[in-house]
Structure 1
Amino acid sequence: MPDWSYQTLFRPLLFKLPARAARSLTLHAMGSLSAIPGGSLVIRTLGHMEVSPLLQQQRDGVQFTYPVGLSGGTDPNGIAHRALAQFGFGFMEIGPVTVQPVRHEEEITRNTDGEALIYSGELENDGLGAVAGRMNRKQGHRLPVFFRIRPMRGSSEEQKIIEIRQLLEGLAPYAAGFYLDFFEDCTEMDGQRAAAYMLDIMRAARKLVPAKPLFLYIPLEMPDAKLRDLIHLLSLNGMLSEGIILGDSLQSERGFEIGKSGKQPTIHKLALLRREIGPQATLIASGGIHEPQDALDCIDAGADLIQIHSGLVYSGPGLPKRINEALLHRIVTKSEAQPRPPFWSGWGWMCLLGLGMIIGGIIAWVIASTTVVLPYDTAFLCMTPAALASVNERLMPFMSHDRVTLAGTMISIGILYGQLGWHGLRNRLHWVRTALMASGIIGFSSFFLYLGYGFFDPLHAAAALILLPMFLFAMRDRVEWPSRSPVNICNDRVWKMAQRGQFMMVALGFALAIGGVTISIIGITHVFVPEDLEFLMTSAAVLGEANDNLLPLIAHDRAGFGGALLSDAIALLAVSLWGIGQGQRWLWWTLLAAGLPAFIAGFSVHLQIGYTDLLHLSPAIVALLLYVLGLIWLYPYMVKSAAPRDVPREPATEGVCLK
């Protein structure tokens, strides 16, 4: 469930359920989808998180593909880890894990206005045995896993150390590293006891897992003075570990609150810790990260990696991808821009292909609106246009209706291809190349749909022979660059409205794809739908008896239109899924320009020939409604507003996002 579906449909429905039930339903749904063959590919395709070496980093012997991690409290039972791994996470936390299970019967509650989740108690988990058993099974992903391990509450100090050892030994085979959560216990001890306790745990951990990085888990509420003393003590004894992770919960009268209110305490603690431990140790922040700006602020305050929890619930599953894109944009804009590739390297061929499709579509529209049939059509039928009209007076208008709609679709494809070539391939954007590759393969393959009927269209074949080399030349440039365009970093009103617009455009893409497949199948099988025969006031058998080649000719038109519509739909769907971004004016105007000829052609020819059956036109009417609503809701986001500038700030300052 990407942000466009989560914000518009699923979140309003899920927030009507109790929080625990909503979490279980969501995780089981994602887990079930990822478990079926191809399920993970579907999830990855909807989000299309591009791997960039610029975001990769190695810390403490662990390779991180992305700097964004998943908090352990998001999916405590590991139900959907396979699915969540496709969202753009670079690592996962599992935990807290205690030796014995910890249960809380009280309901998790939400503070929607404050964007917070409120837990009645901490440390809820299935216990060491269940977690280790689950990890022993196939996980379905290769992300580094860090276990947050915690002694049981109420245990003696000696027993706590024993439990830490048990947890380390039981989970070491599956761990990339550990978060040692014992600092909270130290706040209840005097200085000497706390020192002995901490050093005993750290020595035991170092001995048991010498090759695994150990991060100290610091509660977000730990007093600054106490934190400085404990950090100083560990530093003096050489036991500071590889780094520190800051917790994400704040205790209130309602329970343990994890939400947006944790951002400022997190930034304060990050600045303090960075001063205390220096620049080398790794710092991980996890509190109050609900939008990309929050992550950028934490990075500016000293964090090296971040984890998200409540932000995934309130912002949506696209949050890790948006954070990655914001961090990547920061890196890219600090580097020198690459020189544009030459015209003939690839993108120029795509622009020519688009221009060729537009010209071909215009010519096809003129012919379909006037003579309708071409000489090779009449030669195939061995009938003049007048004789063809005598078979059925509505036959020529019906054929005109198929060919005009095909022409409008061709122009739409040409506009999309030309614009994607100029603005996308010219900048070597990965998603654009993927979109054009998928659309082009389907479009050129559709040429073979109607050959089984025995009709060979020489004009169509000639166009394909001319355009196919252009497509192949355009796809030969495989160099990819990250986008330098500003990205959205705020969950403001304009962004939320744009999610509705994107939902409409994605729905339109899927609807047109289904329509293209349906029309193609009907074209190569039944040829007509009942409404067609009602308009023609005849039957397929009668038409077939009039001329043996008539049905193959009409089938050719229908199959060709279905294939073109599917190709157009794939391009539109890819653009809607992967390309929509704040301030992308060119893409909004592309969507407008590409849609107009297709809709004008479709509706005008139906009105012109009198084929106004409401059932027949209803799919086109629904498509037009989706198209108009999508453009309206996307306009403020893509055209009127530019993405807020990402300007690194001092740790104590607020973000630039305006609500």
Structure 2
Amino acid sequence: MRGPRVYDRLFEQVLVRMDAEQAHHLTYQALQRGGPVLTRTARLAGTPVVAMGLRFPNRLGLAAGFDKTAQVWDRMPAFGFGHVEIGTVTALAQPGNPQPRLFRLPADRAIVNRRGFNNDGAVAVAERLAARRHRPGAMVLGINIGKSKVVPDDDQAAVEADYEVSAKLLAPLADYLVVNVSSPNTPGLRNLQAVERLAPLLAHVRRVADAAAPDRPGGPVPLLVKIAPDLADDDVLAVADMALDLGLAGIIATNTTIARDGLRSPSSTVEGCGAGGLSGAPLRERATEVVRLLRARVGDELTLIGVGGIDTPDDARERVEAGADLVQVYSGLIYGGPAWPRRVAQQL
């Protein structure tokens, strides 16, 4: 237990005093510099599982949001991750929202972010992935795509054309592809979760992805949709029915929440963070409930990836018991440190 205690002290005495996004960039730069060593020394933990026709080395993945520019994804197996989801990637490169835009709530083991899909764009990401493709069987690579901010959400044709650019470029490079319509940090994006808007968008992305990778071994790239925890139960079930009707591979539940209920942090601290999506431990109960609702609805026909509020190995097991085939983490890594993912993977 020496490692976790050392990281706890480092976090409490050093990292928590730094701007959260600065700390993220320093970590990212360290991973870039340490790439050759990390890729050679990767030792995957846990038990393999098959989902969506893919063999995952274990159930644990790194959620979208950590590697938005596709530069460190292949370092992450060294920490125990069996899959990594890069992104969110948009068709157009964009800087995201003004800084500061990433905040910690240590009393709640939570994060508030309003980064707004800051990324280098689909062309740059596709070029990086094509130049450094992962070794088959070593890990699974998911690619999460979203709407460019300048595209009006009320123009369905423009939205579909925007997602089409990303799908065409990235589907041939992905083990699975995710359509993100659930971030609260791109204006109007969550409006696309309404089934009457979402179904034609997903059908269009499906056609584009299939055409972009017609000779993919194993068949069409699995397509998933990522939903928000703030959907009403009836809307969660409507998305489940739609996913079945469209023949999607699965659903990722859930993204960050706009709710701020039941937090331990002082209200002044929470208000000081401003708008954005809340992730971390406070999300656990609702994210688990959404997975449970989905599994009861879809049976064994869809892969469910549980994400949100996984802070301990017990949380990860709870999500699997609720019906998740795979789990993903991000905020738990920030609070748990580099040795934490391996402990979670080993205990799943």
TM-score (norm 1): 0.45
1:113 aligns with 2:114: no
1:71 is matched with 63
Amino acid at match of 1:100: L
* Structure 1 position 321, deviation (Å): 1.1
* Structure with the larger strand share: 2
1:91-106 equivalence runs, <5 A: 91-102=83-94, 103-106=96-99
3-state SS of 2:81 partner: coil
Amino acid at match of 1:241: L
1:242 aligns with 2:224: no
Which residue of 290, 302, 306 maps to 2:311? 290
Assess, with a 3 A threshold, how the Cα gap between structure 1 residues 314 and 241 changes in structure 2: closer, same or farther: same
1:386 is matched with none
Contact in 2 for aligned 1:270/1:301 (Cα 8 Å): yes
Which residue of 273, 277, 290 maps to 2:298? 277
When the two structures are aligned, how many residues end up with a matched partner?
A: 316
- Alignment gaps of 5+ in structure 2: 184-188, 214-218, 260-273
Assess, with a 3 A threshold, how the Cα gap between structure 1 residues 84 and 201 changes in structure 2: closer, same or farther: closer
2:18 is matched with 17
* Structure with the larger helix share: 1
2:27 is matched with 26
1:113-152 equivalence runs, <5 A: 113-138=107-132, 142-152=138-148
3-state SS of 1:179 partner: strand
By relative contact order (CA 8 Å, sep 6+), the higher-ranking structure is 2
Assess, with a 3 A threshold, how the Cα gap between structure 1 residues 56 and 163 changes in structure 2: closer, same or farther: same
Question: Partners of 1:65 and 1:269 in 2: how far apart?
Answer: 25
Contact in 1 for aligned 2:141/2:174 (Cα 8 Å): yes
3-state SS of 2:305 partner: strand
Question: Partners of 2:57 and 2:317 in 1: how far apart?
Answer: 18
Question: Partners of 2:80 and 2:221 in 1: how far apart?
Answer: 24
Question: Partners of 2:20 and 2:38 in 1: how far apart?
Answer: 25
Question: Partners of 1:172 and 1:114 in 2: how far apart?
Answer: 37
Contact in 2 for aligned 1:132/1:170 (Cα 8 Å): yes
* Structure 1 position 148, deviation (Å): 0.8
Question: Partners of 1:263 and 1:12 in 2: how far apart?
Answer: 27
* Structure 1 position 128, deviation (Å): 0.8
**Aligned-residue CA RMSD (Å):** 2.7
Assess, with a 3 A threshold, how the Cα gap between structure 1 residues 113 and 241 changes in structure 2: closer, same or farther: same
Rg larger in 1 or in 2?
1
3-state SS of 1:29 partner: helix
Question: Partners of 1:204 and 1:183 in 2: how far apart?
Answer: 21
* Structure 1 position 312, deviation (Å): 0.2
Which residue of 247, 253, 258 maps to 1:251? 258
Amino acid at match of 1:275: A
Question: Partners of 1:205 and 1:151 in 2: how far apart?
Answer: 16
* Structure 1 position 193, deviation (Å): 5.3
- Alignment gaps of 5+ in structure 1: 328-659
Contact in 2 for aligned 1:266/1:285 (Cα 8 Å): yes
**Identity value in percent:** 25
Assess, with a 3 A threshold, how the Cα gap between structure 1 residues 29 and 195 changes in structure 2: closer, same or farther: closer
Contact in 1 for aligned 2:66/2:86 (Cα 8 Å): no
Amino acid at match of 1:227: V
1:310 aligns with 2:306: no
What are the superposed Cα offsets for residues 380-432 of structure 1, whole Å, 9 maximum, x if unpaired?
A: xxxxxxxxxxxxxxxxxxxxxxxxxxxxxxxxxxxxxxxxxxxxxxxxxxxxx
Assess, with a 3 A threshold, how the Cα gap between structure 1 residues 96 and 188 changes in structure 2: closer, same or farther: closer
1:165 is matched with 164
Question: Partners of 2:132 and 2:206 in 1: how far apart?
Answer: 31
Assess, with a 3 A threshold, how the Cα gap between structure 1 residues 114 and 175 changes in structure 2: closer, same or farther: same
1:221 is matched with 230
* Structure 1 position 279, deviation (Å): 2.0
3-state SS of 2:278 partner: strand
1:587 is matched with none
